[in-house]
A and B are shown apart, each in its own frame.
Chain A
Amino acid sequence: MIKVRIPTPLRPMTGGKNEVEIAGNSVAEILENLGSAHPGIKERICDDEGEVRRFINIYVNEEDIRFLTGKETPLKEGDEVSIIPAIAGGR
């Protein structure tokens, strides 16, 4: 199982949990299985084409998956996936 960190805005969809354990051998599988376990959450992270939305970064441990092999990035026991919205704000 892989530990997946859930950002504050998505926690209502995981029953308030900031971390969930999800099975999967790649980031793509984690996103798929996360979506099955918590309906609606995958649509918040990925667009209709399945691409990660432009305001979200996904990290495996401390590295952004864009600098690994994207959604195909393989995962092993002990890895941690973090879903992180980029900084925003306003007036």
Chain B
Amino acid sequence: MFYIPSGLIQDMIAHARELAPHECCGILAGTNQTVAENYRITNILATMSEQELSRFEGAKLSDLQRLSPEERADIAFQMDAREMAMAQRAIRAKDHELLGFYHSHTFSPARPSQTDITIAMEFESYRTKLNLPAPLHLIVSLEHPDTPDIRAYRIMDSQATEVSIQPISAS
């Protein structure tokens, strides 16, 4: 069980709606099982060069190569590394921990895709060496625009397991 202030849930949904049809992305931080803050991070995918797309693999890479740069951000996200580093520094300064990552699925359900799982496993391969806790992967789905769905997962050994989230009133 993870506890998330309802204001932060609303902010993540607002973030997803502001950027739609592009996917949004961000970082969640707090202590123990309770999220205290979120950091909106820029999805730089639409401005990445053809060569930089090779950061993605397999089917996702060929899908991205077929689309225009603007359309690419509708089906994927890449966090800006500098903003991510700045957020991690701010999180440490507050004695918070990085608890997870969030992103939106503009046209599909709130379930991790193969790309989400592959990249989560990439993160797992160096996470412990950097002393970071196991992250939650939260997805905001706008598939049904009037009823956004928000779900959280742990991704271990290439398997995603849903974790329940409990909205709380105060932050």
Contacts and interface: CB of A to CB of B under 8 A. Distances in A.
Is the A/B pair a real complex?
Answer: yes
Interface of A: 5, 7-9, 18, 43-44, 52-57, 59, 62, 64, 66-67, 80, 82, 84-91
Interface residues of B, number: 45
B1 interface: no
B75 A90 contact: yes
A27 B52 CA distance: 21
A44 B105 contact: no
B16 to A, nearest CB: 12
B115 A87 contact: no
Given A8-B125, A54-B44, A67-B89, A90 B82 contact: no
A22 to B, nearest CB: 17
Given A55-B44, A55-B80, A67-B89, A90 B126 contact: no
B84 A89 contact: no
Contact of B79 (A44, A53, A67, A88): A88
B76 interface: yes
Contact of A7 (B45, B52, B126): B126
Given A9-B57, A9-B122, A55-B78, A91 B106 contact: yes
18 contacts: A9-B56, A55-B81, A56-B81, A57-B84, A57-B85, A62-B130, A64-B89, A80-B129, A86-B84, A88-B76, A88-B77, A89-B112, A89-B137, A90-B75, A90-B113, A90-B116, A91-B108, A91-B113
